Structure 1
Amino acid sequence: MYPFIRAFYHMARARRMPKLTPFETHVSEHICWPWDIDLWMELNNGRTLTLFDMGRVGRFMRDGSREAAKEGGFGLAVAGASVRYRKRVTMFQKVKMYTKTVGYDDKFLYMEQSMWNSKGECCNHILLRAAVLDGRKMVAPQKFVDVLQPGLQSPPFPAWVQAWIDADNTRPWPPEKD
């Protein structure tokens, strides 16, 4: 089940934090609870993605995205991701998460998130793209951005982000069946 109480908690915390501009980084803290672990007594890979959701919820509360989405009638949906799992996160361990919007193009918004342990080691990192939806129809992110902050332009993508975008554009869709 989706952790709605946890999401509401992060929304409430974010409301009390200073506002962010669209490309600033949101920092949040999370705990690996017993219901987050897998058979190997560490943070489950699927729950890692859910915790990244929590970081984005706080981020969208702070930069005005939530209000802009409501005002414009937009929704956001994850449309692709590349995740690296590098360090174990065990039960009751605290992690600090960094969430930022990298930029956008004519199809997607791109976000980067990372989780860091108390030793300063990066445990997990994700680059994701989000589609902007108007009802069930995907629309250009600029429509959403114009509501969020008129005139805002995307910064250039870092080379590694552009390389991911380029590589993903060569991937067939739908995938081939055997």
Structure 2
Amino acid sequence: MYPVVRMLKEMVKNRNADPLPLTGTHVSQHICWPWDIDIWMELNNGRTLTLLDLGRIPLAMRIGLIKVMRRERWSMTMAGVTVRYRRRIRTFERFEIHSRAICWDDKFIYLEQSSWKRDGECANHALYRAALTDRNGIVPPARIAEAMGVEATSPEIPEFAKAWIAAEALRPWPPMQD
């Protein structure tokens, strides 16, 4: 089940938070609850992706994107993700999610999110490809920046993101069926 109450809490908590620049980092505090775990008593890998929403939406609020999305009647969709899991987050363990936009191209915005344990270890790291859409399809990031009144030039795409983008371009769609 989607963590609606937790999302509302994050939105209320961050409604008056200081604005962030387009590539600013939003940090949020979380607890791994019993309903977030798998049979090994740790944060479920699928639930991790859901909990990362709790960082992305407040980030979008703080950079001013949500306000523009409402005005323009745009929606946000995740168009791909790659995740690296390295440390377990156990039941009742507290952790932080760090969320930021790292770059964009002519179609997509690339977001980086990571979960950090209290001892300073990174538990997981995700690279997302996000798109804003309207009734005609994907809204180009240059148009989004213009609507936000910010500079449209992307920071340089990091090498790890370039490699993922290139790998995704080679991946067949639709996938083959046996």
TM over 0.5: yes
Output the CA distance in 1 between the equivalents of 2:16 and 2:28. 13
SS in 1 for 2:53: helix
State the secondary structure of the residue aligned to 1:112. strand
TM-score (norm 1): 0.96
The alignment's C-alpha RMSD in Å is 1.2
CA distance in 2, matches of 1:136, 1:114: 32
- The answer as to whether partners of 1:72 and 1:144 remain within 8 angstroms in 2 is no
Q: Is the Cα contact below 8 Å between 2:29 and 2:95 reproduced in 1?
A: yes
Unaligned stretches of 5+ in structure 2?
Answer: none
- Deviation (angstroms), 1:50: 0.8
On the 8 A contact 1:74/1:144 being kept in 2, the answer is no
What stretches of structure 1 move > 6 A for 4+ residues in a row?
Answer: none
TM-aligned CA deviation for residue 136 of structure 1: 6.3
Structure 2 residue aligned with 1:50: 50
Partners of 2:88 and 2:150 in 1: how far apart?
42
- 1:169 corresponds in structure 2 to 169
Q: Which one-letter code corresponds to 1:38 in the other structure?
A: D
Within 1, Cα distance between the matches of 2:91 and 2:44?
A: 10
Q: Residue 75 of structure 1 corresponds to which residue in structure 2?
A: 75
- For residues 109-157 of structure 1, the C-alpha deviation after alignment (integer angstroms, 9 at most, x for no partner) is 1000000101100001100001210036223222222112343311111
Q: Provide the aligned length of Structure 1 versus Structure 2.
A: 178
Aligned to 1:103: 103
Which residue of 1 is the match for residue 138 of structure 2? Answer: 138
TM-score by length of 2: 0.96
- Aligned mates of 1:15, 1:107 — CA distance in 2: 28
Instruction: Report what 2:66 is aligned to.
Output: 66
Task: Report the identity percentage.
Answer: 45
The answer to whether 1:13 aligns with 2:13 is yes
Distance across 1 between alignment mates of 2:151 and 2:158:
21
What letter is aligned with 2:164?
W
